Structure 1
Amino acid sequence: MPKKVLFGACFLCLICLLAAFAPLISPDDPTATSLDRASQAPSFRHPFGTDDLGRDVWSRCLYGARVSLLVGFFVALITTLVGVTTGLVSGYCGGILDEILMRCVDIFNSLPNIVVYIVLLAYFKPGLANVVLVLALTGWTATARVIRSETLSLREREFVLAARALGASRGYLIFFHILPNVVAPMLVAATFSVAHAILAESTLSFLGLGIPPHEPSWGNIIMEEMDDLMAGVWWTVFFPGLALISTVLAVNSLGEGLKEMLEAGRGARNV
C-alpha cells in the first residue's frame, strides 16, 4: 500500500474520531463565553488557547471538524451519485443523449464556481443543507467525465460484448458489468470531492456565506478571529487553519495514492 494512502487514511480516521467524540473530548461548550478568560494563550487547561469571548479554541476546532467533514462527505456522496449516473448513461448510450449530457457538463464547467456559490447562497438562507446542495450543484461534472471515459472503454470490452450477444438488457449491462469496473476511479473522484468541498465550505464561511456563526466550522472560526490575528492573538486563527490545511492535504494525499494504485493496476493488466 502506498505511503500516501496510509498517511491520508490514518489522518482522516483520526480527524473523524476526534469529531465523532467531540462531546467527550472537548473541555468546554464551543459556544460558551467567559470574558474572564478572554484571549488566553495556549495552556494545559486550554491547549489551543481562548478567543476574545473566552471560548475554548480546542473545543471549537473539534466541533468545527464535525461540520466541515459532514459537508465534505455529503457533497462527495451527492456528486458521486449524480456524476456516476450521468457518466454511465452518457458513455454507454452515446448518441444524442451523450451530446446533451456533455453539453450540460460543459455549461456547468464554463461557470466560475465561486461566483455560482456566492450568487446562490446570497439568495438562499445560509446553512448546512444549502451549502451542501450548492456545492454539489457544480461538483458532479468532474466525476461524470471520468466515469464516461471509463464507460466508453468498457462497453467495447469482450465480456460486455459477450453479455450483449447473449441478450442482456442495457440496464443489466450497465449495473452488473460496467458499474463494478468503475468503482476504483469512482472512489478516487469521491476522495478529491471531499477535499474540494471542505475547502469550498471554509472559503464560503470565511466570506460569511456558508455555515452561520452560531454553528462552528473551520471557515467561520477563522473569519470571526481575523481581527484577533491583527491584534497579535495568533492562536485563534492558527489552529483552525492548521486543522483545515492538514485535513485537506491528507484527503488529497489519499486521493493521489488511490490514483497511483489504480494506474499501477492498469499498467500490470496491460503488460
Structure 2
Amino acid sequence: IGLKLVGPSGYVLTEAGFGSDMGGEKFFNIKCFYSGLRPKCAVIVCTVRALKLHSCKAPKVVPGAALAKEYKEENLQLVAAGMANLQQHIANVRAHGVVPVVAINRFATDTDAEIALIRKMAIEHGAFDAVQAEHHAKGGAGAVELGEAVMKACSKANINNFKFMYDAKTDDIKTKIEKIVRGVYGGSGATYSEAAEGRIRQYEMDPSIRVLPVCMSKTQYSLSDDATKLGAPRGFQVHVKDIYVSAGAGFLVVSLGTISFIPGLPIKPAYYKIDLDLDANPPRVVGLS
C-alpha cells in the first residue's frame, strides 16, 4: 500500500525493530521472502551511550539508577571499543546486499569528537554514510541530513544485489538456524534441547513445514542469545530451547535461551466490547472501561 501511495519516485520506510540481528534479519528473510520486495537501504540507529556500553569496559546500566559519568563525559576509547558491535550490524546489512546508512542519535552530552569518531569508523567498516540525527531536539529539521543520506544511498543501490541468508525452500531446518547464527550473530553454531530435536525431526517429515522460513526469538540486548554478552562476541553457540510452527504467519518460531513469549489474545479479547456511539452528541467511544 505504501509503495502504491508514494509511486515510483517516493520512499517507504519500515521500522523493523531492534537491531540487524532481530528485526533486520526477519525483515530480510521473512518479509522479503514472502512479499518479493527488495530494500535499497537500511538505516542502523546507534548512540554514543550504547557504543560505550558495548565496549565491555563501561559500568553497567541499571534501570532506575543514574547513568555513570562515563556515559555523559567524552571518552573516545570507550566509543572506539564499542564500535565492534556496530561493525557487526553494518556487516549484517551488507551480507544481505543492502546499503547501510548509520544514524547517530545524538544526546546533549555527546561531543563533536565522539560523533566524528563514530562517523569515521562506521564508513571505514562499510557504511555508505554515517550522520548525526537530532530530530528529538530539533524536530524535522534535525533529520534532514539523515534523510538526504538515505536518498543518496537509495540512488546508488542495486536491488539485484539483495540476497537471503538461507534458502528457505531447500535448506533443512538446522541449516537455516545455523546460517543465521554464523552469518548474522557471529556465533559458531547451535545446540538443541531434546524437545527441539524431536520437533525438528517431526517437521522435517512434513513438506509443507520444512520449507518455511525461521523466526528466531532471542534477547535484543546481545548479538548472541545471552544478554550479558555485549560487544561482538565470537565462537559462542546458541541454545535452541524449543521450536514450533506459526502456521498462519508462515514461519517456524525458534526459541533461544531463556526468552519468554508475549501472551496472545484470548478467544474473546476486550476489543469486542469497544464501539463508537454515533447517537451521542458528540459521538463517543464506549467500552474502554
Measured against the shorter chain, the TM-score band is under 0.3
TM-score (normalised: structure 2): 0.24
**Could you say which structure has the greater relative contact order, defined with CA pairs below 8 angstroms and 6 or more residues apart?**
1
* More strand by percentage: 2
